[in-house]
Structure 1
Amino acid sequence: MPIGTGSVEYERMGVMEPERRSSEKRRRRPKSFQAGPPKGMPERRKQPRPPLAEIRRAASLTLLPNAVLVGATRIVEFLIVAGIGFAIYLVHVSREPGLHIVYLAAVAAAALVYCGLVQSFGLYTIRAFREFTSSYSRIMLAWTLVLAAFMAVAFFAKVGADFSRVWLGGWYVSVLSLLLVERLSLLILMRRWLREGRLYRRAVIIGGGEQAEELIRSLEASPNTDIRIAGIFDDRGNDRISPLVAGYPKLGKVKDLVEFARKSRVDLLIISLPMAAEKRVLEILKTLWVLPVDIRLSAQNNALRFRPHTYSYIGNVPFIDIADKPIADWDFVQKRIFDALIAGFGLVVLAPVMLAIAALVKLTSRGPVFFKQTRQGFNNELIDVYKFRSMYTDMSDAEASKLVTKDDPRVTPIGRFLRKTSLDELPQLFNVLKGDLSLVGPRPHALKAKAKDRLYADVVDGYFARHRVKPGVTGWAQIHGWRGETDTEDKIRRRVEHDLYYIENWSVVLDLYILLMTPVALLKTENAY
């Protein structure tokens, strides 16, 4: 399958989408670049490009990581095999005297062996999910082998006569039937997600010229790549490099890529520069490390060769890993489940407290109970964060152009207590359930928040790197005392340092530790006004 282009970018540039293989729109290049895939690599079959509307949707839809899809499928099939065996046991066998523990052990063992066998057959891959006929025939073989092995073990252990034939036959047929439905449903979903572009990483290449062109052709010739290239970014002008590289457009300079990645989904940055250009690579990384994406350095034309395990691969093309998107794949799933469970439990437990606070806010000053403030969230997206109102309505400052100070006349009496104890933040549990915030992460700052008289981004170099993960209700900086007023530039620098430490060292255990330490940290109120 050819690597698709970002047609929406061509539209924005005011030009028609070029044909990738049109020799009229390519610069003349050496024969080695025109010879197709390298020797020994299979020729990739051309397929029709998706229509423009579908590519446009793919730029905004969420990527579905292959590792998560494969893992989820493995879990579902384990539950199918074990669940059906256990259900038939409850209905038909559980009231009869016999080997009940052995039944349950057999169900669990069969499910584990089945998943292991299917894994060895190569059926837990995106490609296998798309090839229903061959995949399901091997699934039937795997399940048949598992039941045959089970019967052989029971026979040689001289307990075969103790097992219900109805249970065994019903288990065999029911599992095959449900696996048929599951794999057909997965096939339908895969086709839909492929059309939408959810299963492909959207990549951009940094650096044009012949080196980028050769890289693109190698990626196109490689089997089973999971990327779609949106375009090229290069600081050189059109007088030095062609505005089209292997049919892909130059979309701007490197400095333009940060804004591009925040407005259009980008999952992977590929730097197509020689390793010898160390200074230039470092300059690029200094600009781009604030983005929540994977960054890879092409090693295809590198004269210095390392051991194979040094590289990561996209298809057959080697890369050196420069940076990984933080909290990705299963880590993201774990964190989201953790957030949803704890936030939902917290809302139930704290509901009486929140109702009491709402009544006090309403009774002690005129205006709404809640205060909504626009802040910067993941990848600099604007989100609405909710708090209990702590200031007089006619004195509120939604953009926080002037931070609250000690004995600030804008704060209500009840608001002063709420801010010191951080109880005004409790409505942000709704933001967590909505998915705008995480329970733990860098605190979201107001758009015009300042340290002294300077915006935070002007004080801290690389400030926006803290937005590579979702912001949180509490965080590593807060439990270390870096909360409240930022009347000096050093305070915001230290806060950002702690935020970056959290991003690089995240784990569920760390999140749990921060949550447990937050009530202790709230006892220190000297900087909270």
Structure 2
Amino acid sequence: MIRNYSRPPIRKDTSIAITRDNILYNTELFLEPSVIMFSLWAVAFWHEGGLTPSYLILSVILFYITFPCSSKIHMAAWRVFRNIILSWALLAGLVLSFGIITGYIKLFSPVAIKLWLWLTPVCQLLAVFALRAGASLLLKLQGPQKRVIVAGMNDQGIALAESLIHNDYSTATCLGFFEDRDPERLQNKNGFPILGKLADIAEYVKTHNINIIYLSLPMVSQPRIIKLLDELQDTTASIYILPDIFLTDLIQGHMGQVDGIPVMAICESPFTGVDSLVKRLTDIVLSLIILTLLSP
């Protein structure tokens, strides 16, 4: 009996991340925030002889502000250097400005502040490049690569397969595609294996220990998708749907939720979320500066 997937039960967003089980991804989330925090601790132990409350509170605040860290594992070396230096200059400038305005900067020695300002970006750079050097070892510790198949050979499915193949830090490998169309109708320029028809997927998953299935089928093929999902109910593989993004101009596409209902943003105003807050704060600060300069 085919289940009705057209009206799934409403549930809260589980924030599923495709890379959540990648040890490099999880390490990067904590790496730079931890470096910023521990470098401040090191300065505290060196200058104060211990971790005083003021240093501890500041370190926790800094960790909270900088977590999670953006991924830099794929960046060129010069971009990593530029990103870290500019980000640190902005963060340090904001922290120092806040300390001067509130007077809390008096709780810290000028010598300790100068040392921390120079020590932290150096440690960040060393940590990022050390992680890159040890990436292959970390991936080996994580275990064998996950086995992936793709249902439907189209532009987005091929793009995904190429990404998995050419990504040196991927924890998954693409075994091939399942497609109902004749081979001569497919644009298989890279020669990806065609493992069978869509009806063969369920049996293939069971016999070949497949971990992940990507459904790269046109959204208009709802009956085929529903039938395929029903056939895969008794497998242990994770199933993800690749949206047919090439039907639209997907400029800022990302997943979100409205009161627990999953939605996909196709094109979003640049002044939303954190960007809206930054713009508002910038307007206020600039207005105050202009009023101060114009006042007699």
Please say whether Structure 1 and Structure 2 have the same fold, judged by a TM-score greater than 0.5: yes
Contact 1:274/1:301, CA 8 A, preserved across alignment: no
How far apart are residue 137 of structure 1 and its match? 2.6
Q: CA deviation at 1:144?
A: 3.3
One-letter identity of the residue aligned with 1:76: L
1:172 is aligned to 117
Counterpart Cα distance in 2 of 1:214 and 1:159: 56
RMSD over aligned Cα, in angstroms? 4.6
Q: What SS does the aligned partner of 2:128 have?
A: helix
Is residue 206–residue 269 contact of structure 1 (8 Å, CA) maintained in 2? yes
One-letter amino acid of the counterpart of residue 104, structure 1: L
Instruction: Name the residue aligned to 2:43.
Output: 88
* Structure 1 partner of 2:289: none
Aligned residue in 1 for 2:238: 293
Distance in 2, matches of 1:155 and 1:199, equals 52
Q: Distance in 1 between matches of 2:125 and 2:184?
A: 51
Contact 2:156–2:216 under 8 Å retained in 1: no
Structure 1 counterpart of 2:60: 108
- Post-superposition Cα deviations, 1:203-259, rounded to whole Å, max 9, x if no partner, equal 42334xxxx34554666899x9988643222467xxx54497513222134454345
Find out whether 1:79 has 2:34 as its counterpart.
yes
1: CA distance, partners of 2:161 / 2:19: 22
| Residue 220 of structure 2 is aligned to residue 268 of structure 1 | no
Separation (CA, whole Å) in 2 of partners of 1:301 and 1:81: 41
Contact 2:156–2:242 under 8 Å retained in 1: no
Pick the aligned partner of 1:148 from 82, 93, 113.
Answer: 93
2:76 maps to which residue? Answer: 131
| C-alpha displacement of 1:182 | 1.0
Q: Is the contact between residue 201 and residue 268 of structure 1 (CA under 8 Å) also seen in structure 2?
A: no
Q: Structure 1-normalised TM-score?
A: 0.35
CA gap of 1:189–1:64, structure 2 versus 1, over 3 A, is: farther
Once the two structures are superposed, residues 305-326 of structure 1 have per-residue CA deviations (whole angstroms, 9 ceiling, x without a partner) of xxx766669xx9xxxxxxxxxx
1:326-475 equivalent positions in 2, closer than 5 A:
none
Measured at CA, do residues 195 and 69 of structure 1 come closer, stay the same or move farther in structure 2, by a change above 3 Å?
Answer: closer
Give the distance between the partners of 1:312 and 1:141, measured in 2 at CA: 31
Contact 2:149 2:176 in 1 (8 A): yes
For 2:246 and 2:98, locate their aligned partners in 1 and report how far apart those are by CA, in whole Å.
Answer: 55
Given that 2:33 and 2:62 are in contact with CA atoms closer than 8 Å, whether structure 1 keeps it comes out as no
> What letter corresponds to residue 285 of structure 1 in structure 2?
L
SS in 1 for 2:193: strand
What residue in structure 2 maps to residue 510 of structure 1?
A: none
Q: Distance in 2 between the 1:255 and 1:144 partners?
A: 56
Report SS of the residue matched to 1:248: coil
Letter in 1 for 2:56: L
| Cα distance, 1:162 vs structure 2 | 4.7
Change beyond 3 A, Cα 1:194–1:302: same
Task: Work out whether residues 86 and 107 of structure 1, in 8 Å CA contact, stay in contact via their aligned partners in 2.
Answer: yes
**Unpaired runs of 5+ in structure 2?**
1-17, 256-261, 267-296
CA contact (8 A) 1:203 1:230 kept: yes
Aligned to 1:182, which of 114, 127, 131?
A: 127
Which deviations, in whole Å up to 9, do the C-alpha atoms of 1:17-65 show, x marking residues without a partner?
xxxxxxxxxxxxxxxxxxxxxxxxxxxxxxxxxxxxxxxxxxxxxx964
SS at match of 2:82: helix
Give the Cα–Cα distance (whole angstroms) in 1 for the partners of residues 218 and 99 of structure 2: 62
User: Whole-Å Cα distance in 1 between the matches of residues 89 and 162 of structure 2?
Assistant: 38
TM-score by length of structure 2 reads 0.57
CA distance in 2, matches of 1:162, 1:286: 63
1:252 to 172, 192, 196: 196
- Distance (Å, rounded) in 2 between the aligned partners of 1:283 and 1:276: 10
Change (3 A) 1:312 1:250: farther
Judge conservation of contact 1:203–1:270 (CA < 8 Å) in 2.
no
How has the CA–CA distance of structure 1 residues 189 and 199 changed in structure 2, closer, same or farther, with 3 Å as cutoff?
Answer: farther
Does the C-alpha gap of structure 1 residues 259 and 172 become closer, same or farther in structure 2, counting only changes over 3 Å? farther
Q: Which amino acid aligns with 2:53?
A: I
By relative contact order (CA 8 Å, sep 6+), the higher-ranking structure is 2
Question: Deviations along 1:354-412, whole A, 9 cap, x unmatched?
Answer: xxxxxxxxxxxxxxxxxxxxxxxxxxxxxxxxxxxxxxxxxxxxxxxxxxxxxxxxxxx
CA contact (8 A) 2:151 2:178 kept: yes
Mapped contact 2:147–2:210 kept (Cα < 8 A): yes
Report the alpha carbon displacement of residue 93 of structure 1 after superposing the two structures with TM.
Answer: 1.3
- SS across alignment from 2:220: coil
Q: Which position in structure 2 is the counterpart of 1:282?
A: 226
CA distance in 1, matches of 2:78, 2:192: 36
SS across alignment from 2:240: strand
Rg larger in structure: 1
1:173-215 Cα deviation digits (max 9, x unpaired): 332332122100222244677999x9997542334xxxx3455
Quickly say closer, same or farther: Cα 1:131–1:312, change in 2 above 3 A: farther
C-alpha spacing 1:192/1:312, structure 2 compared with 1 (3 Å): farther
- Note the C-alpha offset of 1:124: 0.6
| Alpha-carbon distance between aligned partners in 2 of 1:150 and 1:297, rounded to the nearest angstrom | 42
